Amino acid sequence: MSIQLGQIAPDFEADSTQGRIRFHEWLGSSWGLFFSHPKDFTPVCTTELGEVARLRPEWDKRGVKTIGLSVDPVDSHQGWEKDIESTQGQKLDYPMIADTDQKVSTLYDMIHPEADPTVTVRSVFVIDPNKKVRLILTYPPSTGRNFAEVIRAIDSLQLTDTQSVATPVNWNQGEEVIISPKLSDEDAHARFPQGFRTLKPYLRYVDLNQSA
């Protein structure tokens, strides 16, 4: 059964480069970025793992823990980490799960029938502090993941969890947002005293950075 948005992320226990991990316990009350790699010593993933490490200040700012997975064993991961540090200039500061029996990748539907059955696809899961899956992405082998987009999506999720708003196309943190259609104009004026602009009754923009 495939993972669905809004469901509780399956818990598991597995070995990693930072020891044995119980996933839910490891997440604690943090957001989580869980991403898989087909196998160790692959070129595109080498660049991705380095980038996730480079973005540590951004993950920390948002309360996000990062964790990777591939079907290779821990000693292979550790050898790969040395290559990543030497080529990307970043030391990996997050665990890499060793899913040698493919239990975790099967649990998260990372093994696709049309792909090599011995490797995972390049999946991304964003998980909230309630352990719910909030974002799922799957990339082809030849296309590097855009972690700036993952950060943008996390910014949107964290904002819209606390405000009655949604984020429009190409939105970035600090830009105008859309008021939820569930709010009447009266409720919107009460909630957003700084005012808002109406393009259509269902399309109202508000600047959350603007003072009342």
Task: Give the pLDDT confidence score for residue 15 in this predicted structure.
Answer: 96
Question: 127 with 76, same domain?
Answer: yes
Domain count along the chain = 2
What pLDDT is stored for residue 136 in this prediction? 95
Both 175 and 119 in one domain: the answer is no
Q: Is 180 a catalytic residue?
A: no
Query: Do 135 and 202 fall within a single domain?
Result: no
Structural domain span for residue 170: 163-206
68 is a domain residue: yes
Residues 130 and 173 in one domain: no
The parts of the chain modelled with pLDDT lower than 70 are 1, 112-120, 211-212
CATH code for the domain of 84: 3.40.30.10
> Both tokens of residue 17?
């480069």
Q: Which residues contact 163 (CB under 8 A, 6 or more apart)?
A: 177, 208
Residue pLDDT, tens place only, 137-185: 998 878 899 999 999 999 999 999 999 999 999 999 999 999 999 999 9
In a domain, 157, yes or no: no
| Within a domain: 28 | yes
Predicted confidence at residue 54, as pLDDT, reads 97
Q: What is the pLDDT of residue 135?
A: 97
pLDDT at position 127, please? Answer: 98
In a domain, 90, yes or no: yes
**pTM as predicted:** 0.92
Alpha-carbon gap, residue 203 to 19, rounded angstroms: 49
Cα 58 to Cα 40, 52, 62, 66, 168: the distances in Å are 25, 10, 7, 11, 22
The answer on 126 and 65 residing in a single domain is yes
Q: Are residues 137 and 41 in the same domain?
A: yes
Distance between CA 114 and CA 150 in Å, rounded?
A: 26
Nearest to 104 by CA among 139, 156, 68: 68
Is residue 2 in a domain?
no
Which is the catalytic residue, given 9, 45, 71, 104? 45
Does residue 18 lie in a domain region?
yes
| Cβ-contact 42, 144 below 8 angstroms | no
Q: Taking phi first (over 0 means left), then psi (-120 to 50 degrees means alpha), and beta for anything else, what does residue 174 get?
A: left
Based on the fold, state whether residues 99 and 195 are members of the same structural domain: no
Indicate whether 19 and 68 sit together in one domain.
Answer: yes
Whether 193 maps to a domain, the answer reads yes
Predicted pLDDT of residue 141: 78
Domain identity same for 83 and 178: no
My answer on whether 90 and 168 are in the same domain is no
CATH code for position 174: 3.30.1020.10
Instruction: Give a yes or no: residue 133 inside a domain.
Output: yes
Residues 175, 127 share a domain: no
Which amino acid belongs to residue 68? G
- Do 61 and 108 lie in one domain? The reply is yes
Which pLDDT value is given to residue 175?
A: 96
